[in-house]
Homo-oligomer: A and B are copies of this chain.
Amino acid sequence: MTRIKAKPIGASQMATPALTRKELVERLDIEFPESGHALGDYDIEEIWYGGCRLRQRYDKRLLRPGSTLSGATMMALGDFAMYLAVLSAIGWVPLAVTTNLTINFLRKPPARDLIAEARLLKLGKKLAVGEVAIHADGAKDLVAHVTSTYSIPPVK
């Protein structure tokens, strides 16, 4: 299993992923038919080896008082972006599970789409660690920053 080099988010990390965007969407549709996650609220904008850019489409149900998006929305987005980053490197392993997630909420997001950029910081045999930067569409400042660890099941 190849080690991920630690590069800044946004750098040219566009190495070929272990499964394409199209393959990923098909798999997610089969695996999570009721969640509506893969199809409903999220758009996988780009996926590369060890990272992805994921869009959370704005929906007024996500709003909180003060016309801001809920923390739960950002946590779910960060977790899902990290999941895709893991799959981009190890291929389709649906039993990879989050063991740990830390989120720092930095600014109140406006009532708009959110963009999450995930990248792996480490890919080991048992654990993958990554970070996710979340910003509102069209804005540069981060609204939230996530670090997360996934446990990778042993290959049989």
Cβ of A46 < 8 Å from any Cβ of B? no
Q: Select from chain B the residue with minimum beta-carbon distance to A30.
A: B65
Count the A residues whose beta carbon is within 8 Å of the partner chain — how many?
53
| Interface core residue of A64, A100, A133, A149 (most chain B CB under 10 Å) | A100
Residues of B within 8 Å of A11, CB to CB, are 8
**Chain multiplicity (copies):** 4
Residues of B within 8 Å of A9, CB to CB, are 8
Give a binary string over A70-110; 1 marks a CB under 8 Å from any B CB, 0 the rest.
Answer: 11100110011000000000000011011111111111100
Cβ of A31 < 8 Å from any Cβ of B? yes
Q: Are B35 and A61 in contact (CB under 8 A)?
A: yes
**Using a CB-CB cutoff of 8 Å, which residues 94-148 of chain A contact chain B?**
94-95, 97-108, 121-122, 126-127, 129, 131, 133, 135, 140-142, 145, 147
Instruction: A6 to B10: give the CA distance in the assembly, Å.
Output: 12
Instruction: A66 to B96: give the CA distance in the assembly, Å.
Output: 12
Report the minimum CB–CB distance from A146 to chain B (whole Å): 9
Q: Are A34 and B63 in contact (CB under 8 A)?
A: yes
Residues of B within 8 Å of A6, CB to CB, are 133, 135, 140-142
5 A–B contacts from the bound complex (CB under 8 Å)? A3-B141, A6-B141, A66-B95, A99-B127, A104-B129
